[in-house]
A and B are shown apart, each in its own frame.
Chain A
Amino acid sequence: MNGAALLSVRDMTCTWDGVHGCRDISFDLHPGEVLCVVGESGSGKSTLLQAVSWQVRPEAGSVWYDTRDAGPVDLATLPAARLRLLARTDWGFVRQNPRDGLRMQVSAGANIAERLMAVGQRHYGELRQVAGNWLQKMEIDAGRLDDAPAAFSGGMQQRLQIARNLVTHPRMVFMDEPTASLDVSVQARLLDLLRQLVADLRLAAIVVTHDLAVARLLAHRTLVMRGGRVVESGLTDQILDDPQHPYTQLLVSSILQS
């Protein structure tokens, strides 16, 4: 494993049925780095995200993570309880549909405070204050703290989902199509907010998207997937301005306006 990497993936294969999924994936992700995984539907990019974040156990290969307390560990060797703690404190998961990542029955404030309570914080006043601060950071009026997320617009729900994940100051965030469920008019705002957050908090992130404009704006590096394999990887601006692989050239030439 590369000494400076936060996450190291080596020869990882993960399939659903022995055929579909992702194969022979290897990459390193360093602290503060944003990596976009692009490709068409069925290219294996969401499977890759689930496997590197250990939501699904890969069939072959390894995923190493540089833990705060014990340094780099092979995730396959961690007991379930340690994995759960890691997922709930050091990692964040942003789903495409905010309804899948939020608890819709409880208030916005409770959604944000949940992860803090899971790591033992109990002081009601402090939890409320932290939740209110996060709402404001996400450009949501703090007066909405007691409203249920169902009363929020799609863009606000997505921002709430991000706040809920970042409240424990994770070092690594996994995002699956974070802007795809939003109207174009609110996508730019969310992207800009994400861009600022990853820079300010020095977050490492893996973002799955089919939208190359998202990669251009957010990602330092990009992996291009097709048929379960990485066909090209490099600096995002190099991939988009000088694509090498025929499939990447096709993707880039299909952008409406650059």
Chain B
Amino acid sequence: MNASTSLIQVRGLGKLFILHNQGGIRLPVLRDVSFDAGPGDCLVLAGPSGTGKSTLLRCLYGNYLATEGSIRVRDGAAWVDLTGAPEQRILRLRRELIGYVSQFLRVIPRVGTLDVVAEPLRERGVDAEAARAQAAALLERLNVPRRLWGLPPATFSGGEQQRVNIARGFIGGHPVLLLDEPTASLDADNRAVVVGLIREAVAAGRCLIGIFHDEAVRDRVATRILSIQPAVLADTPE
């Protein structure tokens, strides 16, 4: 893939955690990660637990600060370096360009499920009715029972919350979508629905980067695999 068609370029990315209140322990989690991804990619991050796959996704979303290297994303004709961008710029990128489905839904008290899912569209200025209609269609497809739509998802089961989270992630139509184990707590039927959503997004030219521990799901969605090596072992020549 060449630079003109990619949407995201990562070069020499490293992440080191320093725990100041625990004797200044230094935890190197990522070292020298480089890749490009573009429209129609579903890049799957592979590697054992603890190698920093979730950390990498969080860096790509600006949720974690990269310690070294660069993360550049293409916004129209311009490249933006996420690692040095002003906060307002990152917020705009999150609204318009980069979506993120976390492992767990962060529940907002008193906000009903339909509005939780519709929120990313509302933030972009879509009117309430249209946003709710799209949210309803996604919840329907993900088999979230209609009787739950008016309720805040705080009391839902893990699988129901995860489907609400997936609907909220997919609704925005972000050109780049980061997925952290979206199918982890789902049954087979709902896994199949999510696989369908992912394949449609890829076919539509969106760029997905995700972590999937379920091999069957991984094989059905991946267009490429990026193997993440533990940072502490990265010094060992291969």
Contacts and interface: CB of A to CB of B under 8 A. Distances in A.
B20 A195 contact: no
B88 A192 contact: no
A220 B63 contact: no
B110 A189 contact: yes
B88 A33 contact: yes
Contact of B109 (A188, A235, A237, A253): A188
A30 B108 contact: no
B155 interface: no
Interface in A205-258: 217, 220-221, 234-235, 237-238, 241-242, 244-246, 249-250, 253
| Most central of B19, B64, B109, B111 by chain A CB within 10 Å | B109
Interface residues of A, number: 24
Given A188-B109, A188-B110, A192-B108, A238 B21 contact: no
Contacts, number: 50
Interface in B13-61: 17, 19-21, 58
Contact of A244 (B63, B65, B108): B65
B57 to A, nearest CB: 12
A201 to B, nearest CB: 14
Nearest to B20: A246
Given A191-B109, A217-B108, A217-B109, 14 more contacts: A4-B88, A188-B109, A199-B123, A220-B87, A235-B87, A235-B90, A235-B91, A238-B63, A238-B64, A242-B65, A245-B20, A246-B20, A246-B21, A250-B20
Interface of B: 17, 19-21, 58, 62-65, 87-88, 90-91, 108-111, 122-123
Nearest 6 CB-CB pairs, A to B?
Answer: A246-B20, A188-B109, A242-B64, A192-B110, A221-B87, A249-B20
Interface of A: 4, 30, 33, 188-189, 191-192, 195, 199, 217, 220-221, 234-235, 237-238, 241-242, 244-246, 249-250, 253
28 contacts: A4-B88, A30-B88, A33-B88, A188-B110, A189-B110, A191-B109, A192-B108, A192-B109, A192-B110, A195-B108, A199-B122, A217-B108, A220-B87, A220-B91, A221-B87, A235-B62, A235-B63, A235-B87, A235-B90, A235-B91, A238-B62, A238-B63, A241-B58, A244-B65, A249-B19, A249-B20, A250-B20, A250-B21
